[in-house]
Amino acid sequence: MSTTSLFFTAAGVGLAIAAPVGPMGMLCIRRTLTGGPRAGLAIGFGIASGDAAYGLIAALGLVGISQFMLAYDRPLHLAAGLFLLYLGLRTLLQRPPADTPNGDGKLAQIGRAGALRAYASSLLLTLTNPQTVIMFAALFTTLAPRGAFSSGIALTTVSGVFCGSIAWWCFLVTVVSLARHAIGSKLRLAIDRIVGITLAAFGIVEVRRAL
């Protein structure tokens, strides 16, 4: 398989991994609605960065790091579950602010500091799932069944997965941003309730996995 074909194959895998709407997708949708596209993209880049970090660990054969993360699998799931539960409850209890156009007629958006916080929170939440290492290891084994997986091919594969994931998040944020201008406060509140309940439910599942 050529480098270009490998990149696009890995990008397709990254797109397929990111596309199912799970807790992170719900979080991205809500942050886009409340903070604008910058907030949603910060969430997406944080998720893709976390996946890329685990992909590099699996691709470069950093056995010590991967074994350490897998050894603390339960505490990490507990941390992720509690954080998701916190986000869900906060979403349920927090009334979404009404969008008011600013001087140039655009809806308010979060600033750079808020985007950095959103990126960091989604990155840390993604890193609490060390099972991603196993998933990427299986991917690399499939793409290089004969063990001919050099560092260059590994980086190409991880880059492809990252770009595929980012492509999905950009698409999702664009769609939600376009709909954001047409969503009223009542529908926004209903969406918040659905997202809050979903995040809390995922949090409970993660906590149960840790116990």
Domain boundaries along the sequence of the chain = 3-98+109-210
- Calculate what percentage of the chain has a pLDDT beyond 70: 78
Residue with tokens 């116990």: 211
Q: Is the predicted pLDDT of residue 5 greater than 50, yes or no?
A: yes
Greatest mean pLDDT among 22-31, 57-66, 70-79, 150-159: 22-31
pLDDT in tens, 29-43: 888 888 889 999 999
Say what the pTM is.
Answer: 0.76
pLDDT at residue 41, rounded to an integer: 93
CB count in 10 Å sphere of residue 83: 18
- Cβ neighbourhood burial of 194 (10 Å; 0-12, 13-18, 19+): middle
